[in-house]
C-alpha cells in the first residue's frame, strides 16, 4: 500500500509578509521532513508537498492556524516513493505567472474569483451535453500543449499554448468561438483557471466557469468519465491515472 501522501493546494489572498511567511513555512516543512515546492507571492500561496501522511497533515493544520489560510483544503494522492528531490520555498512575483497584472483573484472578497462548478456538476453536464439551462457546454484546457498531450477531456478546446503567459493572446485570437456556449475552463489543480476564467469574463464572455480543484479533484471525486488519458504532474511521478495512481504510459515525443 502506498505510504507517501502527495498534496497540492493554493489560495489567492493578499499577503504583505511574504519574506516572513517564507521563513515560517520553510521551517515547519523542514521540521516535518517534507519535500516539494511552495511559492509565495503578494497574490497568495501555491503548495506541492509530500511526505509521511501524519507529517503532511500536521503541516496543513499549522498552516490553517493562520486565518488567511484557514480554509485551505489540499488535494491528496498517494505514491510508493517520495516524488520530490528536495524542498523549495520561494518568494515570487506571481504564484502562477500570467504577466497580466490587472487579473488579481482574491478569495477574501465575495467577487474575487470567477464562478466555479464542482466535479459532479461538470460530469452531469457532460453526460447531458449541456448545462442546466440547455446551453451547449465546452471544456477549455488552459494547460500547456505538452501537458494536454498526456490526456484531456473529450473534445476539449486546446489552443496549443507553450506557456501560460500566452493564454491572453490565445483568448484574443479565439474569443468568437466561445460565444453562445457555457465554457468550463480547467487545468491540473485549478490555479491557472482562477486567472483564465476572470480574464475571459473581463473579455465579455458571460457564461464562463472554472472547474473547482481542476483535473485532480475531478479524478478524486468522480470516476474520471469524459477524460481520456492521464494527467501530467510536475514531479517525478510524471502522470496520474484517473484513480490517482501513477500511470505507466510513456511520455509522448
Active site residues: 187
Distance between CA atoms of residues 197 and 210, nearest Å: 6
Distance between CA atoms of residues 75 and 87, nearest Å: 19
Amino acid at each position: 500500500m502506498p505510504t507517501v501522501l502527495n498534496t497540492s493546494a493554493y489560495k489567492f489572498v493578499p499577503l504583505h509578509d511574504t519574506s516572513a511567511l517564507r521563513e515560517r513555512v520553510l521551517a515547519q516543512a523542514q521540521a516535518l521532513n517534507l519535500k516539494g515546492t511552495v511559492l509565495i507571492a503578494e497574490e497568495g500561496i501555491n503548495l506541492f508537498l509530500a511526505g509521511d501522511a501524519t507529517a503532511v497533515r500536521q503541516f496543513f493544520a499549522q498552516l490553517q492556524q493562520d486565518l488567511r489560510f484557514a480554509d485551505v483544503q489540499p488535494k491528496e494522492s498517494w505514491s510508493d516513493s517520495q516524488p520530490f528531490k528536495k524542498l523549495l520555498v520561494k518568494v515570487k512575483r506571481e504564484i502562477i505567472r500570467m504577466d497580466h497584472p490587472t487579473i488579481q483573484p482574491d478569495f477574501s472578497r465575495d467577487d474575487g474569483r470567477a464562478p466555479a462548478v464542482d466535479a459532479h456538476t461538470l460530469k452531469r453536464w457532460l453526460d447531458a451535453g449541456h448545462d442546466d439551462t440547455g446551453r451547449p457546454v465546452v471544456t477549455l484546457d488552459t494547460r500547456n500543449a505538452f501537458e494536454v498531450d498526456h490526456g484531456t477531456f473529450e473534445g476539449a478546446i486546446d489552443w496549443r499554448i507553450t506557456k501560460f503567459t500566452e493564454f491572453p493572446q490565445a483568448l484574443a485570437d479565439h474569443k468568437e468561438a466561445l460565444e453562445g456556449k457555457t465554457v468550463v475552463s480547467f487545468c491540473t489543480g485549478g490555479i491557472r483557471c482562477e486567472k483564465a476564467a476572470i480574464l475571459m469574463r473581463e473579455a465579455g464572455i458571460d457564461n464562463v466557469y472554472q472547474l473547482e480543484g481542476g483535473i485532480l479533484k475531478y479524478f478524486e471525486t468522480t470516476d474520471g468519465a469524459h477524460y481520456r488519458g492521464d494527467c501530467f504532474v510536475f514531479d517525478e511521478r510524471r502522470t496520474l491515472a484517473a484513480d490517482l495512481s501513477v500511470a505507466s504510459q510513456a511520455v509522448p515525443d
